[in-house]
Amino acid sequence: MVPYAVVVGSSIFFSGITPNLDVNCDWLIVPGQRVGKVHLGAERSKVMATLGQPKKVAGMEGDAAMGHIWTVWPGNHGHQLDVYTVRREDDSAGNPRNIVRQIRLTSPSFFTSTGVRVGESLRDIQAKSMRLSLVKDSPALKIFDDVRHGIAFEFKKSKVTWRCAAITIHPKHSKVLGEYLPFNS
């Protein structure tokens, strides 16, 4: 049984109920589109209204002068939801609006329509017919990106195999590491 998250205010809580693989489910990852209720292209203010105020944590980073920011909502068991927003180019300085460009999650509670989720092995995810390209390779971390579909996977070495530690949704045909401020894993 895999727990799933419930957002209350600025906290993310995890329950012991296995979600249904319904495509309208709030725990669904849709590559190139959304994670649960957070959609690419949504305004940051809408995300804040949906998820509540984020906790002030060390991982909250950005370049406010350039209008780029990673906002972090920590959850239980060390999991988190990270949202990268960028100020729209057509905004005026007096009325800036940031839009969501990437959504990163570390919780196994969220899943794709094919059942892919954090915690799976690299071999299992590759077997799901994803078009993954290795974009970062180090002894401690591997990042694979499916640019065509808008989904990337971070893998960390476990005792025996590489396990998915995070999933990032980004616009289709864009590179996960192609943003001004890529997430610092």
Mean pLDDT (the chain) is 81
**pTM as predicted:** 0.82
Structural domains in the chain? 4-169 (2.60.460)
- Mean of pLDDT values over 172-179: 94
Query: C-alpha angle 45/3/132, rounded to 5°?
Result: 70
- Which tens digit of pLDDT belongs to each residue from 2-41? 333 444 333 333 333 344 455 568 899 999 999 999 999 9
- Which tens digit of pLDDT belongs to each residue from 87-107? 876 655 555 688 999 999 999
Separation CA 156–CA 136 (nearest Å): 12
Residue (of 104, 108, 121) closest to 18 by Cα position: 108
Confidence of residue 68 (pLDDT cuts 50, 70, 90): confident
